[in-house]
Structure 1
Amino acid sequence: MTSNALTPGIVAGRLPSGDLADNFSDLHPPLDDHEALVAADRCYFCHDAPCMTACPTDIDIPLFIRQIATGTPEAAAKTILEQNILGGMCARVCPTETLCEQVCVRETAEGKPVEIGNLQRYATDTLMAAGVHPFTRAEPTGKHIAVVGAGPAGLSCAHRLAMKGHDVTIYDARAKAGGLNEFGIAAYKSVDGFAEKEVAWLMQIGGITVQHGKGLGTGLSLDKLKADHDAVFLGIGLAGVNALGVDGEDKDGVLDAVDFIAELRQADDLAEVAIGRDVVVIGGGMTAVDAAVQAKLLGALNVSLVYRRGKDRMNASAFEQELAATKGVRIITNASPKAVIGNGAVQEIEFDYTDDSLQPTGETVRLAADQVFKAIGQQLGGDDLPAVERGKITVTDGGRTSLKGVWAGGDCASGGDDLTVTAVAEGRDAAEDIHAALSA
């Protein structure tokens, strides 16, 4: 992160530790046994369940809810995990309100869907608490696959390949596995080190080793990986953060939102995380909301989230937008950054008001800011990659790239939405395709 030496308004410990603990407690407290049974009883167990169609990992939602209703949450967990090995984290961070729960028949009829996400968490947490890993490895195949990136796509791919009997080495540039689940999710969405615990649980399948501090360009080359392994899967995510492209962007106090979120997630003591008095977050997606809400929870007095388009065009879901508003974040739309103003450090940021075509209307606004977080998207990094189109690795069904023996999935690939659950599905499907190719 950029030095705060010139911005004395950015300080740690704005709130007492007790207030911070309350602010960063679990966003959705887990269901107890009785609450889970009551929630499960609301499901109609639809034969042509629209919730299943809306789930990127194709979980049999009516089946796992019925299994909870009949008192077998461990069986429900296996139903979930067969399709989504990171079902515990997805239950916490997946935007169910725009996927499975949005199309729930209860939502259509009553405006209150079955709590699919909370029920999924109940089942997977129950199984993990029992210390059970419900899957076993097939007989060893003698094949060895390299997985680059220990995020949701890479972990999902590695687990499925290990189940098939292949040996897998995961290479990751960071010192800890998990990718965005570990470094890029708001702290109040994944408490008590759950991401790390889920990775450790996943590794119980066996056959997977992890080498940290190694990424493409930092100790690894794609040619060498191809030569040393029977197949390669790239789950490298998006590393670079897009620039604002305005005067003054290099001033002290202008930071990347993803770095801020990662610092929060890895902090041993939230009272040591510095935050400004007047914070401005630029962007309209989940990362922008996560940064803005957490800035407010850390004690920032004024937090504004500014997006260049209308509110209906924000990538953040309506639930996330409402969460930001209820936490005291001011949302300003149709405003595009024009200049960062200050003497060495940011003091204000000026915006052009824009119309629906993003053209300036001639009106401007200045916001006081001692800290600005950029959350306007990330970009693919690295050289010597397979064919890239529109900033992502081009893949076909099953994740095959333009290079023979190389597959890709997750945020780095041209598949579906940039969601944890989508990355899991793409890693799983690539593993199945890799296995079929190696078995042919």
Structure 2
Amino acid sequence: MPDSMTPGIVAGRLGRDEIAENFADLHRPLDPHEAAVAADRCYFCYDAPCVTACPTEIDIPLFIRQIATGQPEAAGQTIMDQNILGGMCARVCPTEDLCEGACVREAAEGKPVEIGRLQRHATDSLMARQGHPFRRAEATGKRVAVVGAGPAGLACAHRLAMRGHDVVLHDAKDKPGGLNEFGIAAYKSTDDFAAREVEWLCGIGGIELRPNSALGTNLDLGDLRRDYDAVFLGVGLGGVNDLDAEGADRDGVMDAVGFIAALRQADDLTTLPVGRNVVVIGGGMTAVDVAVQSKLLGAENVTIAYRRDKSRMGASEFEQNLATSKGVRIIFNAQPVAVHGNGAAAEIELEYTADDGTGLRGTGEKLRLPADQVFKAIGQVLTYRGLELDGRKIRVTGAGRTSVDGVWAGGDCTGGDDLTVVAVAEGRDAAEDIHATLMDAAVHPTGAVIGEDARA
């Protein structure tokens, strides 16, 4: 975090009341009447495009019908059958690009059914019920190591425990949750929801948490293969890409992921230092999250500089609009050239870019912006190298099988979209494949839907 070498980066730019208002829940939960009204807009399509658009294939028309008929807990069960982290996904999924983007009402009226908020209403209702809604199958005597307690690892651990296996869930950090705990904007997941969801999920039993256990440090894959019947890796992407610009090592230049993690773990946001003039390099969700939160902490000027055009930006249109609504400026087709300053960052130099069909190139036209704090949000990289890779991620086939026998992987450390809901689907499906392998049983290739016998 910033120190005395960066005089422009200070804490307490805003008071506690303003900070509390700024970081309140982005989407207020629906009350029962509002949920019933929202559910009534659903056409309950037979071949619902929203289901196809959901990576975990939740039966969306069914759970919305259950809400409409006054059964929110049953709706929550329908969701959790497919997505055990349905509560967090309801808060952080880019629904405008997934289920809501595919909604028939979106195509017809430009206003989809509020699937995300309805999902939150249902999952919150189920989680508020006493007792865990799933129970474990008869013990198999098998023991599985899950490395990484993020969305993929948690989904895998829960499904394995439900199938009767004993799971040891390792994580490099001192608390579980992965990006749900450390890597998303605080206004998307309030009231310590990530930690509460993990505690709820582990309520099924059979899952032992072991924090401060990092693969390649105090965990060895060979030892895990020897000591357990199977291994699942959901290790995420632990490294951050370097900024290729002169002066990138100046004080005040920092990675966005680390800043967001510090913000998420801060007990008092008025003590978190932030710059007066903040520039974020990148165009994904992390870039938007760090930019918006810098503004909410009291930064006067916040700019996102993205090297390509608007259509190539990784952050959804909703996220882009959220950023600009909070006063964040987005400059497209601009890449960093240098960070200037006497020891600490004071100014950033950008060069405009163009793509003539042969690749991105600098145009030679440049601009400078005041910048006492520069965030790198230009992607993360895999730090573990013990398996065959596909590009920069772990190569997998089928439901997460790696090049090493008895080892599966899923989530951000493997290919595919880096979304919470995708990670959940990959962890769930890998668990079913692990179970089938250990028990020598057939399983549907997309992951079997939990039967009634698995419910409490």
| Corresponding residue of 2:396 | 395
Aligned counterparts of 1:323 and 1:382: Cα–Cα separation in 2 = 35
Tell me which residue corresponds to 1:34: 33
Deviations 1:53-84 (A, max 9, x none): 00000000000000000101100000000100
TM-score, structure 2 normalization: 0.95
Q: How does 1:277-356 map to 2 (within 5 A)?
A: 277-356=276-355
SS in 1 for 2:327: coil
Deviation at 1:390, TM superposition (A): 1.0
Following TM superposition, where does structure 1 have runs of at least 4 consecutive aligned residues deviating by more than 2 angstroms? none
CA distance in 1, matches of 2:131, 2:25: 24
Contact 1:166 1:207 in 2 (8 A): yes
Residue pair 1:387, 1:401 contacting (<8 A) in 2 also: yes
Distance in structure 1 (CA, Å) of the matches to 2:265 and 2:217: 22
Distance 1:348 1:322 in 2: 26
Counterpart for residue 426 of structure 1: 426
Aligned to 1:141: 140
> What is the CA distance between 1:4 and its match in structure 2?
2.6
Partner of 1:215: 214
Matched with 1:179 is 178
1:368 aligns with 2:367: no
CA distance in 2, matches of 1:203, 1:6: 44
- Correspondence list, 1:192-271, <5 A: 192-271=191-270
1:21-60 alignment, distance < 5 Å: 21-60=20-59
Note the C-alpha offset of 1:247: 1.3
Cα distance in 2 for residues equivalent to 1:234 and 1:177? 14
* Alignment match, 1:378: 380
Q: State the alpha-carbon separation in 2 of the partners of residues 353 and 63 from structure 1.
A: 49
Give the TM-score taking structure 1 as reference length: 0.99
Q: In structure 2, give the amino acid aligned to 1:294.
A: Q
Contact 1:146-1:232 within 8 A present in 2 as well? yes
Cα deviations across residues 249-296 of structure 1 (Å, max 9, x unaligned)? 110000000011001100000101100000000000000000000000
* Alignment match, 1:411: 412
Whole-angstrom CA distance in 1 between matches of 2:196 and 2:5? 39
SS in 2 for 1:45: coil
Q: Secondary structure at the match of 1:398?
A: coil
Report the 3-state secondary structure (helix = DSSP H, G, I; strand = E; otherwise coil) of the residue aligned with 2:250.
coil
Find the residue that maps to 2:96 and give its secondary structure. helix
CA distance in 1, matches of 2:384, 2:54: 31
**Structure 1: how far apart are the matches of 2:34 and 2:233?**
41
- Amino acid corresponding to residue 379 of structure 2 in structure 1: G
Task: Look up the equivalent residue of 2:217 and give its one-letter code.
Answer: T
Partner of 2:451: none
- 2:435 is aligned to 435
Provide the secondary structure at the position in 1 that maps to 2:187.
helix
Task: Determine the C-alpha separation between the residues in 2 that align with 1:41 and 1:132.
Answer: 30
Aligned-residue offset at 1:409: 0.1
The 8 Å contact of residues 254 and 372 in structure 1, kept in 2 or not, is answered as yes
Q: Tell me if the contact between 1:334 and 1:358 (Cα under 8 Å) persists in the aligned partners.
A: no
Deviations, residues 221-242 of structure 1 (Å, cap 9, x unaligned): 0000000000000000001000
Question: How many Å separate the matches in 2 of 1:131 and 1:174?
Answer: 29
Q: Determine the C-alpha separation between the residues in 1 that align with 2:297 and 2:367.
A: 26
Q: CA deviation at 1:397?
A: 1.3
Q: Percent identity over the alignment?
A: 70
How many residue pairs end up in the alignment?
437
Counterpart residue type for residue 91 of structure 1: A
Q: Which amino acid aligns with 2:410?
A: G
Is the contact between residue 173 and residue 218 of structure 1 (CA under 8 Å) also seen in structure 2?
no
Task: Tell me the secondary structure at the aligned position of residue 102 of structure 2.
Answer: coil
**1:176-221 residue CA offsets vs partner (Å, 9 max, x unmatched):** 1000000001000000000000000000010000101111122100
Once the two structures are TM-superposed, the CA of residue 132 in structure 1 deviates from its matched residue by 3.5
Q: What secondary structure does 1:102 align onto? A: helix
What SS is found at the alignment partner of 2:364? strand
Whether the 8 Å CA contact 1:308–1:336 is kept in 2: the answer is yes
Q: Which runs of 5+ in 1 are unaligned?
A: none
Letter in 1 for 2:166: D
Q: Distance in 2 between matches of 1:400 and 1:67?
A: 36
| Cα deviation code 1:116-146 (max 9, x no counterpart) | 0000000000111223421000000000000
- How much has 1:9 moved relative to structure 2? 1.1
What amino acid maps onto 1:77 in structure 2? G
- Distance between the aligned counterparts of 1:374 and 1:358, measured in 2? 19
Return the alpha-carbon distance in structure 2 between the equivalents of residues 132 and 170 of structure 1: 22
**Structure 1 residue matching 2:122: 3-state secondary structure:** helix
Give CA deviations for 1:305-353 in whole Å, capped at 9, x if unaligned. Answer: 0000001100000000000000000000100111111111001111110
CA–CA distance in 1 between the matches of 2:104 and 2:384? 45
TM-aligned CA deviation for residue 382 of structure 1 = 1.9
